Chains A and B, each alone.
Chain A
């Protein structure tokens, strides 16, 4: 196993070589090494870095990529090449988009096989065995930033007290054991335009249809949402930051919100009237495989620059409110709940 060297901050990235490989196909443009350039948030990521993002074409990656390019970094997206690597955002001009997309390099291939030297930035793999080949391939990796999924659940009573999903822990222990300069970021429920995990969308569908919002239990269960743009900014912050070394970061925001509160915030964000909230006991129903609510009960996680209503409005205005959504509305479970005579009303 290669010993990973931690580069000094501020030095330009090393030049890299592109080895022959039958599985990878490099669609990139500029292959020469770059020297450091100034620019960057808060002066910490001042040197231009070469950033490799595993995936990065959806949701978080979309915003992160834009921010990184804006900061002057050279971004390469490593994908299987099935879909376009960039897409124009709602609200983005053609000019802005083409300027951005022309700067993004694409590396198409199987993530198990690639071997050139760059600085990796983000990993969506959940398992440690997906991470190893990357670490092996990048002996001069300056920093490995790992984004845990939002799989952190609250243990109900004393707060907070989370136990991350096992896969995540294995990855973190691997990173630790390989003496990599790693940083782990744990976001919470991420929301925002292009959210493929329909959190806010679930509420927007019902508000738009003028339907009551069925919320399990008392509705005082709390959760925490983070806006995707804030998460992207968080990545920038940890980039090259010496104090981020070997640290786990929870994207912590100011506030939690109750389930009832979230329904109200979504209504406010979309300009809807105060919603009718219906509470019910999920144990009284058999929903089969259908999901009756987008959150698991008593999730606890966490909010920032985007004030909740502001952030939801951002999501609404740039996505759902324009008629775009990922998952079509399905009110099957709602109707089961509403048809029962002993629905608990608060």
Chain B
């Protein structure tokens, strides 16, 4: 133990394993510490036989380990063999629980760790950093000493812990190695994801085990297991329900734990509290990111944001000198990146400072088309210094940033984007300037935006279409920052976040109130404006309250309700980009309706007094506000008058609107709705979908919910801020030019998007072989006919070649979802192919209007 290693590598994923391999090759005195008893736990846990992808394909691999696309088993075997060959010093079952410097205290090097409690309060702890060598303490109690540490623990993290009183008792566990070894116990399984279900079923499989197993499910019971077990795979959930029905185990719906004591547990159920016997608790409630552990090592994160990564130097060194961070934890979620970094970081530690990063060719390609012969580093520096929001980025951050962004040259007069184009990216001007056309009819009415500034932020924030056309005012170079890169940027660089927020508030106000306002006119308003987060269902304005503030919806959407005859009646739907609260300001008096968030939203709260001053000084603006208000008032009056004469109809309309919002219409941009009075169940919509997309239907017509004859089938809503995009390692999910959210060919089939989509619309499947033509089916009966071929037919007709590389790609499962028939002339096939007119696609703001009262006969 007295031995001091040159490098200790923590975590044997692609990043750590590659680093250790290179250290071994270079003959450095090293140790590779792995928590589990095998290499690369994340990949070990992929589903059996998974086809692992080697994206991005243009990136060359630089590692002493091999890696190419292939089966999980083959890849793991090759890594194991090679790790042996290279003579890597691996220590398994070595779970590092803390890293501390053993040298003297480093002067002035103190880390502040902010921890937030659930109630929103936060506490700051200060941590003095100590110089290396580092002492790595394992959970076994052993300590290992090393001069430098490479932290490559990925982002899988540790299991989430239960929080109720008594949850620290020893019989509360988070893992179950062998369910068959547990006998004659009362066991509570908390969590109904796949892991929880597998454990519960294992424990109850054989009645001879004598276990009494209870599964707690927070969700309510439903015939449709996709709703009652939203985080589990359907077959797993069905088997669990079958076990329950066979009385092998018990599922308790709408139940949570209240308190734990030895031998007993108290549950909160819909019908009150209940105390039942319990000898063991197995909690499978997801996992928490490893941030807490990493921060405790003295490694600073760039911000408090959930998406933030550790702050790193160009050679991956963290704020704790001698501790390097690589791999998914450093923000690079693909295996190839991870392996390259493993190699690079060991080179750096070994003193090679001139090594060019392996992503160099990718970046070269990005800058290839730009005028002026500059190298990658020069370009990065130019962008960093010219664009204000990028000023404080490190060279490493710039590299990563540019991998997800694009730099382009525009000729004078060239259109960069057009009004009503969909787009969720942000633009920044690196050279030159652009102008915004504020009047579509008159191209001379423009607002200039100069070098270093940003534009297009409305699309980024609200996810809505572009509000105006932007044209290059002179030859210009702009960077298009993808939504993902922009989100990352805001979490890495707090000053960039502030700048974007301020500019977007100012521009949003200007754009909304238009009519000749200049930034100076609304300076006071912008200064007093606050960005407020609103939870789904929370009210920003309550009927009958006093208040003059105006709210601008920045993200999300709101519904407006009014109490009529003792019942809240739905009046209207407000998408992002609209404003409310002007009535009380203009006419005085109390709020006339309640406005609440349809989904988690963000509003700009504008001080009423300040805004009133602007209104008073600008009669044109006041006029316009009055007109908007008049329109709203008419709608309200119309609904109220109907309420007297057709109370039933209005109630239905109101209930239906709320139902639609609950089905995700509040965050949708385009959703498929089926009128059950017209749908004859011919499934031509599904068939048409399959036939226009590789033979796989992206729509499950029968599934999904209905209310008063409107059915919302299981099909993509093309959300404003798609949940599915959140965690896609190759960044394969994008918003296309028609507003569609689509998945491109770089999908590696990890299934994250499927888990993240709250509406269960993504399926993982392989593409069936091509079918014979329609005519040959009609006249000769060849092939399976229109629609998705049966599994059997696909299996029989898949032409395996015997070449494993090709055969594996034939069997490769990818994420499949609706792309709104992008690029297909005529638009969505489901709608075109419906013989009765039952299927339509709507945007919520055009559908959730009063006209539905008459159109839909709601």
Please say whether chains A and B are actual partners in one complex: no
